[in-house]
Structure 1
Amino acid sequence: MTQWKCSVCGYQMEAETPPNECPSCKKTCEFLDNTCYTPDCEGAGKDDRIR
């Protein structure tokens, strides 16, 4: 499943597709794909380098 991070407040969630509104800050924001695609972070499942 894909990891998503809110570009406004940094809230992180796991879902197939991101919602239109962030569940945390209630803003309409761009969700960044925060899924790990490299061996550096494969144990965590999310890439903390994405800000």
Structure 2
Amino acid sequence: MAVWSGHLCRLITTEVRTARSLGLLTTAEAEQLLARLVLVIDQAVSPVKP
């Protein structure tokens, strides 16, 4: 994973945890959202195989 994608994952994690602490997301919703976003970011930076 590229360095910038690691920073992006940490930033998103912070934002999602803040939303959870403010009651905007449940714990389950936050965990599921983070899991999905990590997969999407990983796929976005992975090289495309022919």
Q: What TM bracket, shorter-length normalisation?
A: under 0.3
Higher helix share: 2
Higher strand share: 1
Over alpha carbons, which structure has the higher Rg?
2
- The structure with higher relative contact order (CA 8 Å, sep 6+) is 2
TM-score by length of 2: 0.26
